[in-house]
Structure 1
């Protein structure tokens, strides 16, 4: 069955490579992916999908292929880009610019490989449609927007994804990574961290820098909060657990001799369990309020939590079934067990919303031999990773491996004729 489906891939490779270069050269920011969505929807229609719906969750695309009685299997890919200026030097490098949500003009690049994700899903959907006599069930193909904002999955669900198109029995997804091309990486249980972002505003009383006694200095308040936050992981999170607390933004004031009336902090949290997640969030709020009180702040701090996604859990039993299918096709020597990744992904929101298993894996996108050498020699940090202006997967064997993995995963769960 697998061979009959994958047999058509060779004839499809050039077409998919052209699609990938087009998406890479024309990236679009989150919830602005209108051109990309149109291209992907047309690819599904050209492949023979009768049910193709655009503008699901603002810019998402859903294709449904009903092929007799059997399981409903969801394949998902994201397709938004990042405000990054590309420095790869590729002939198809992006020179695109856009206006972001803050109204700023920014460069745009597919620095996380979502163009490769989308292309591989087009390839898998096309092959499964062409060989539909080899399987039974319903294939739900989901191109999700706004993964980089951690809101795209929720946008699609709130727009009636599962009410309109059916409830899957499993959610399958993948991510290209700085691994050797042709290799698959996986984990079971929590494989990617939960992410929570906080905008924290501390309120002081402004005045002249020469008269600090007449002010309540929010800069000092913010500095103490930043320092104190570093103790959460070191002194409150159990050593056997994992968490990261990052203050990525601190803004206050406009001039060196003016004490401002407020300070703003942007805080990001990564955790793997609900218990540690609650512990860290509560500790941050406690510290912010306590420092405000200790400083005689004129008002309680504002705490605005946003862009929260749960830990991505690759359900162990379902993951083992899927990886077994990969091992039989690729060989066990190309399958790697990976440590937990502190980065986050909102694909887990789909499975969590309808209480079905999610299986998620990584596959390599960097030149195989140089990357293997870097692994052997301990030079992993020198490899371009996701979100780097130098990150661009080699087209082959990345494209072939990604298409094959999606097809193999889908066939592991779809019914047999």
Structure 2
């Protein structure tokens, strides 16, 4: 019995021994947004009526002609199997045609376009194709969290380029240390920018392309808010082409650049998980090799819906832009009325607000207490990087009346 007991005790100890994981996961353990999700759940359990302004997931519907294309595909048995690269030709052609019409850039659908399961897949997987362990990636701070995660999964190092209000939230390339540049392989930009809402002019992209050519860097541009831009308040029809340029306009020969587009924002198709990469043929081929090791493409019916979105009427895009403009104006006006002065953004679906006293150095505490006491959920600026501390991001994903109600709740909290 003693032998059996000892054996069972040893077996139990082995079973409870801590499992070992790859070191590349260590930087991914801290997640402000997961903490905020827990704070929202706790507030909801306590009886708070949650107004969630923390997630940039559009509440607007996809267009009927897009849904019809997907619905028709469901009854076609030929769409039910695996979809390999050559089966995506019609989608790649539609994407190439859309880019050429929109930006005047000639695109080869066979070598310069790659379908993606959302642009986040592309930005997270590309470092695996570009970086060797220890190589640097130059990232915006604040910036989108998945850009960081992809570099860490590739065992790369990160150098953050602070983007500050006094520089119009654009990085200063001259501030990057020479030793870091010597070990750098890629730079990631994203304009219109999440979370700061900044727009980069074409002249800045031309500067970025020249800098990356000089230092042999891959230039990555995440472009989800290509359409969510607002014209000056003159009553004129928004002109996205002039307000939000493509990186390929600065690099028409696609020497160093690759750009990622998603249907989540322009076409309200976030849950459909569809996007694409467009740009340098060598980068497209390398990303395709990584993708082939991870997954096939998504369901053909989803691609048919995306084709319908690109080739069909674009009225819904401008309607969405106008809806977000109205929400922006309602929310900013309400904040100004309670004494919280924030700039009016010219792009995206967010408000990037500098925190008032006494919260200027603890955005996480502000957001956790705000949702606990008022039910209003926002994203702490610290979750987007060190330079985001002192700010909070609100997503305009509710109707104006609900946004104004959120501000009323915040007014009492701030007092």
TM-score, normalising length: structure 1: 0.25
- Higher share in helix: 2
Name the TM-score, length of structure 2 as normaliser: 0.25
